[in-house]
């Protein structure tokens, strides 16, 4: 009986030693800083600047807000998945007869806790000519997905809009 007790103690000591050697000595990683408020401000500022580029019909500046792999979902048209397709969408948009007086409103920006993705929701109104050349105003809505790039700048990876009709 004494021998089995000693064997049990030795086995338990060996088990404790093995478990202790498996224990990590590094402290647990801390959560990244919450930068959602700053990120939301940066996105709102970028969106405002982007809106100015669109209102000015500045094609290159408008396109500069997209990431290289961005997809654009224009209303009543195929998805634009390449830089050339995005350029075509915006060139056609800027060539819309009578297009003028765009006014928009960012209604909400949601930044992911991870700090690398955000979604912007908004509305805008645009005046353009109907088929008879008469100016009309269309009310539209949009959703834009932003992704933080390696350099810390926010770029659009998905852009969709459509009318309220």
CATH of domain 36-163: 3.10.450.50
Residue 51: phi, psi to the nearest 5?
-60, -40
Q: First-to-last CA distance in the chain?
A: 88
Question: Looking at residues 8-29, what average pLDDT do you find?
Answer: 47
Query: What's the token pair of residue 153?
Result: 């700048």
Residues in the chain: 165
Each residue of 131-151: pLDDT tens digit?
888 998 999 999 999 999 999
What per-residue confidence (pLDDT) applies to 8? Answer: 40
Q: Determine the pLDDT at residue 28.
A: 55
Quote the mean pLDDT of the chain. 86
Look at residues 109, 126, 119 and name the one whose alpha carbon lies nearest to residue 163: 126
pLDDT, tens digit (0-9, with 9 covering 90-100), for 40-89: 999 999 999 999 999 999 999 999 999 999 999 999 899 999 999 999 99
DSSP lists the bridge partners of residue 148 as 154
What pLDDT score was predicted for residue 41?
A: 97
What count of Cα atoms within 13 Å lies in the side-chain half-sphere of residue 53?
17
Contact 81, 71 (CB under 8 A): yes
**Of the candidates 104, 81, 92, 51, the residue with the CA atom closest to the CA atom of residue 157:** 81
Rounded Cα gap, residues 60 and 106, in angstroms: 22
Residue 11, pLDDT score: 39
Q: Assign 102 a pLDDT band (cuts: 50, 70, 90).
A: confident
Distance of CA 24 to the CA centre of its chain: 36
The span from the CA of 71 to the CA of 83, in Å, is 9
Could you tell me the CA-to-CA distances from 106 to 103, 110, 138, 145 in Å, in that order?
Answer: 10, 11, 17, 13
- Global pTM reads 0.79
If one counts every other C-beta atom within 10 angstroms of the C-beta of residue 83, the result is 13
Give per-residue pLDDT as tens, 75-93. Answer: 989 999 999 999 999 999 9
Higher pLDDT, 120 or 30: 120
**Residue 118 in contact with residue 111, Cβ under 8 Å?**
yes
Q: What are the start-end ranges of the E strands in 40-116?
A: 66-73, 100-111
Query: Does the structure show a pLDDT above 50 at 97?
Result: yes
């Amino acid at each position: 009986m004494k021998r089995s007790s000693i064997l049990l103690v030795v086995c338990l000591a060996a088990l404790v030693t093995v478990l202790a050697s498996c224990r990590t000595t590094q402290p647990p990683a801390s959560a990244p800083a919450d930068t959602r408020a700053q990120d939301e401000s940066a996105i709102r500022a970028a969106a405002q600047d982007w809106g100015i580029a669109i209102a000015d019909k500045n094609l290159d500046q408008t396109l500069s807000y997209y990431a290289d792999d961005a997809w654009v979902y224009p209303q009543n048209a195929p998805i634009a998945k390449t830089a050339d397709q995005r350029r075509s969408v915006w060139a056609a948009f800027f060539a819309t007869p009578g297009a003028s007086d765009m006014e928009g409103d960012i209604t909400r920006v949601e930044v992911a806790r991870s700090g690398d993705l955000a979604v912007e929701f908004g509305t805008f109104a645009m005046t353009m000519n109907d088929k008879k050349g008469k100016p009309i105003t269309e009310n539209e809505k949009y959703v834009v997905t932003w992704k933080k790039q390696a350099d810390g700048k926010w770029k659009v990876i998905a852009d969709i809009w459509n009318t309220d009709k």
